[in-house]
Structure 1
Amino acid sequence: MNDVTQQIANTWSQWLGWELVAVVLAVAYILLAVRQNPLCWYCGFASTAIYTVLYWNVSLLMESGLNVYYMAMAVYGWWQWRHGGEGDTELPVQTWPWQKHLLVIAGVLLASAASGTWLTYFSEAAWPYVDSFTTWAAVVTTFMVARKVLENWPYWMVINSTAIVVLIDREMYLTALLLMSYLVISVFGWINWYRDYRGLSVGQTEATRG
């Protein structure tokens, strides 16, 4: 019995250590993203590689699969930020029209309902509908970050607020704390990106008048 208890304790310590590493890398990612520094994607790639395994270990299957997608998007985002602008230049901050956001939200809700139903009947996934919602919403929002779409920040606020409840339930407390910090940092990210977007818009307007 003592051997089993010790083994459980050792496994818990091991996973907690990896979660701490993933959290540190994730904090570095978002702080660099706020500053629009392409190095954020290196931190994001490493952090999500660790989270792919961690989420699978606690039966959050959609979240685990999502982190595989995050790794691919880290490569895509790095390229877009450095070469996605006109003439192979740095990608500027942009916005989407409200009609596009309505289509995105509707698509996320439909996809969440479909995958949540499938997970309910054909897997042992925890929180299938909520897990599905945060996953599909994050798929779209990560693409928005890679394309420097300003509205990604309020999207993340909704996603992270929802995910915090699930993570506390699954006893991933460090990651829940990470997402709480993300909520605060997202406000500064939104402000910083908005200032850059407004500065660019004003500059383009003045250039047109000139």
Structure 2
Amino acid sequence: MEGLFEALALTSYWELSALLLALAYLVLAAHQSQWCWLMAAVSCSIYTVLFWHSKLYMESFLQLCYILLAGYGWWQWQYQVQQAASQVSPQGARYSWRWHWPKLLVVAAIACVCALLLAHYTDAEQPWLDSFTTCYSLFATYLVAQKARETWWYWLVIDAVYVYLYAVKGFTATALLFVLYLLLVLYAMWRWRQDSALGSSVCSENG
């Protein structure tokens, strides 16, 4: 515990700022607030620089992609709000596991290629974990933008791996954030299920 507190004391203000913004993103996303995407964009901008200097190149690239996805997510959620105002179901996409399996294999193949390239042509550390978490995080974030409830199952696995990855790279505060993320993901799963049930009930009444 003493070593943990010492590591936290050495955490930079930039990492703490990115951490708090990332936490705000997940809380707002759990409540389906469109402002979650703004929090994500600012947090990812900070993490882009931090991860690059730590030679987590795929994680740095991931943060850049997150910024673009934050713009897409903002637009997509705004579009769904307009659908709701037009009395069109705003529940978002629902995909069966039969739809997911081919995508999982494709993402895994892309991650393997990225890991091999990083291992042979860069001085990247943890190229395999870095690549797999990056590729699957992008896929899971796309599902968030679609408001697909299955996204939270992906985040349970991804965030558990991130706890280890950030801990070994010295981002102690961020590793602890992802422990909290695991709990918030469970909350988000419950919250989205409740909101979906409520939305379905309202649509049935309007119908």
Percentage of identical aligned residues: 33
Ranked by relative contact order (alpha carbons within 8 Å, sequence separation 6 or more), the top structure is 2
Larger-Rg structure: 1
Counterparts of 1:122-161 in structure 2 under 5 Å? 122-161=121-160
How far the C-alpha of 1:184 sits from its partner, in A, is: 0.2
Preserved contact between residue 93 and residue 196 of structure 1 (Cα < 8 Å) = no
Letter in 1 for 2:17: V
Find the aligned partners of 1:122 and 1:86 in 2 and give their Cα distance.
47
Tell me, in whole angstroms, the C-alpha distance in 1 between the residues paired with 2:18 and 2:83. Answer: 36
* 1:72 matches 2:71: no
| Alignment check: 8 A CA contact 2:47 2:60 kept | yes
Q: Deviations over 1:13-33 (max 9, x none)?
A: 6x7110000001111111111
4+ runs of 1 displaced by more than 4 Å? Answer: 85-91, 202-208
Q: Is the 8 A contact 1:60 1:126 kept in 2?
A: yes
- On the 8 A contact 1:27/1:178 being kept in 2, the answer is yes
Q: Matched residues in 2 for 1:124 and 1:84: separation?
A: 43
Tell me the equivalent position of 1:190: 189
CA contact (8 A) 1:85 1:92 kept: no
Cα displacement (A) at 1:202? 4.4
Looking at structure 2, the residues matched to 184 and 87 of structure 1 have their Cα atoms a distance apart, in angstroms, of: 31
Q: Structure 2 CA distance, aligned partners of 1:167 and 1:110? A: 24
AA aligned to 2:108 is L
- Does the C-alpha gap of structure 1 residues 64 and 21 become closer, same or farther in structure 2, counting only changes over 3 Å? same
Q: 1:93-172 residue pairs with structure 2 within 5 A?
A: 93-172=92-171
Are 2:18 and 1:19 aligned?
A: no
Deviations 1:164-184 (A, max 9, x none): 111111100111011111000
Instruction: Provide structure 2 residue ranges, at least 5 long, that are not aligned to the other structure.
Output: 1-8
User: In 2 relative to 1, CA 70–88 (structure 1 residues): closer, same or farther, beyond 3 Å?
Assistant: same
Per-residue displacement from partner, 1:183-205 (whole Å, max 9, x unpaired)? 00000000010112233334445
Contact 1:94–1:197, Cα closer than 8 Å, also in 2: no
Any unmatched runs of 5+ in structure 1? 1-11
Q: Give, in angstroms, the shift of residue 86 of structure 1.
A: 6.7
Q: 1:89 to 1:149 in 2, by over 3 A?
A: farther
Q: Give yes or no for contact 2:80–2:92 (8 Å, CA) kept in 1.
A: no
- For these two proteins, the number of residue pairs brought into alignment is 196
Mapped to 1, the partners of 2:101 and 2:200 lie a distance apart of 24
Task: Indicate yes or no: 2:43 matched with 1:47.
Answer: yes
Q: CA RMSD in A?
A: 2.0
TM-score, normalised via structure 2 length: 0.87
Alignment-derived partner of residue 31 in structure 2: 35
Three-state SS of the structure 1 residue aligned to 2:12 is helix
Q: Could you tell me how far apart the structure 1 residues matched to 2:200 and 2:105 are?
A: 29
Q: Does 1:57 align with 2:32?
A: no
Matched position secondary structure for 1:84: helix
